[in-house]
Amino acid sequence: MSTHRQAVRYPTVFVAVLLGLSMAGCTMTGPATLEPTTATTAQSSPPGTSPAPSNGSGNTPEPSPSTSTAALTVFYVAVDDQGKSGPLIGCGDSLVATKAEPRTFTNPVEAAMLALLGDNSATHGESGLVNALAASELRYVASKVNGDEVEVNLSGTLSSGGSCDDPRIVEQLKYTAKVAAEVGSARILLNGVDIEKMLSQK
Using H for helix, E for strand and C for coil, what is the string for the chain? CCCCCCCCCCCHHHHHHHHHHHHHHHHCCCCCCCCCCCCCCCCCCCCCCCCCCCCCCCCCCCCCCCCEEECCEEEEEECCCCCCCCCEECCCEEEEEEECCCEEECCHHHHHHHHHHCCCCCEECCCCEECCCCCCEEEEEEEEEECCEEEEEEEEECCCCCCCHHHHHHHHHHHHHHHHHCCCEEEEEECCEEHHHHHHCC
Give pLDDT, residue 157. Answer: 96
Give pLDDT, residue 60. Answer: 60
d(CA 70, CA 35): 65
d(CA 17, CA 170): 115
Give pLDDT, residue 27. Answer: 44
pLDDT in tens, the chain (202 residues): 444 444 445 444 444 444 444 444 444 444 444 444 444 444 444 454 445 454 555 566 555 679 999 999 999 999 999 999 999 999 999 999 999 999 999 999 999 999 999 999 999 988 899 999 999 999 999 999 999 999 999 999 999 999 999 999 999 999 999 999 999 999 999 999 999 999 988 7
CA atoms within 13 A on the CB side of 67: 5
Give pLDDT, residue 141. Answer: 98
Give pLDDT, residue 63. Answer: 57
Q: Would the pTM of this model clear 0.85, i.e. be above it?
A: no
- Based on its alpha-carbon atoms, the radius of gyration of the chain, rounded to whole angstroms, reads 44
Give pLDDT, residue 22. Answer: 45
Give pLDDT, residue 65. Answer: 75
Give pLDDT, residue 87. Answer: 97
Give pLDDT, residue 35. Answer: 45
